Amino acid sequence: MEMGDMKLEVQLKLQAYLDGELPDGEAQELAEYVARDADARALLTELKHTRAAVADYEADIKLPESREFYWSKIRREIQRLESVEPAAKPASLFLTLRRLLVPAGALAVLAIGVLITTQQISSQKVLNALETETAQADVFTYRDYDSGTTLVWLSYPAENSLADFSPTDTYQ
């Protein structure tokens, strides 16, 4: 392991070596490297002292409950905090407008549908009235294709009643 300044990878390997986590071949290689490199030797010594200091400090800490009960309390508190839903954010202007415009748009579409239906019904009534009137009359149609003219002649029964009209039947 050639290096000028100690890399993070070597520092992590030294920690793993101290914890006994390296395979035998890699541990042997790292031990040889520590014997040759003064910086690696100094870091390994510092890690050993830190480990001993932490172990001594932890030995003095006594919990009022058993270890399992202490960690179960921590787990329950974490689960309780995870289950609490965060406060709802205030709705944005876009969402507020959307909540108002969607029902308004639906009402507008409904109103247009009613207007179209009403107009179609009234148009149908007018057509029915015209058909009834036309059915009472004799209809003759003449088409002149050369000049593009169409002549429609309606003969109502009322024409016959004109013959019955006399000049004495005037309004006074």
What residue ranges do the domains of the chain occupy? 8-83
| 138-142 mean pLDDT | 73
Q: What angle do CA 162, 166, 172 make, to 5 degrees?
A: 115
Q: What is the pLDDT of residue 135?
A: 53
Exposed/middle/buried for 18, CB within 10 Å: 0-12, 13-18, 19+?
A: middle
Q: Pick the range with the lowest mean pLDDT from 17-21, 65-69, 123-127, 162-166.
A: 162-166
Q: What is the pLDDT of residue 95?
A: 83
Question: pTM for the complete prediction?
Answer: 0.34
Taking 70 as the threshold, does the pLDDT of residue 159 lie above it? no
Tokens standing for residue 124 = 């149908």
Q: What is the pLDDT of residue 118?
A: 85
Confidence of residue 156 (pLDDT cuts 50, 70, 90): low
44-81 pLDDT, tens digit per residue, is 999 999 888 887 776 666 767 777 888 888 898 888 88
| 23-41 mean pLDDT | 91
Q: Which position has the higher pLDDT, 51 or 162? A: 51
| 127-149 mean pLDDT | 69
Contact assessment for residue 159 and residue 145, using Cβ atoms and an 8 Å cutoff: no
Taking 70 as the threshold, does the pLDDT of residue 167 lie above it? no
3-state secondary structure the chain: CCCCCCCHHHHHHHHHHHCCCCCHHHHHHHHHHHHHCHHHHHHHHHHHHHHHHHHHHHHHCCCCCCHHHHHHHHHHHHHHHHHCCCCCCCCCHHHHHHHHHHHHHHHHHHHHHHHHHHHHHHHHHHHHHHHHHHHHCEEEEEEECCCCEEEEEEECCHHHHHHCCCCCCCCC
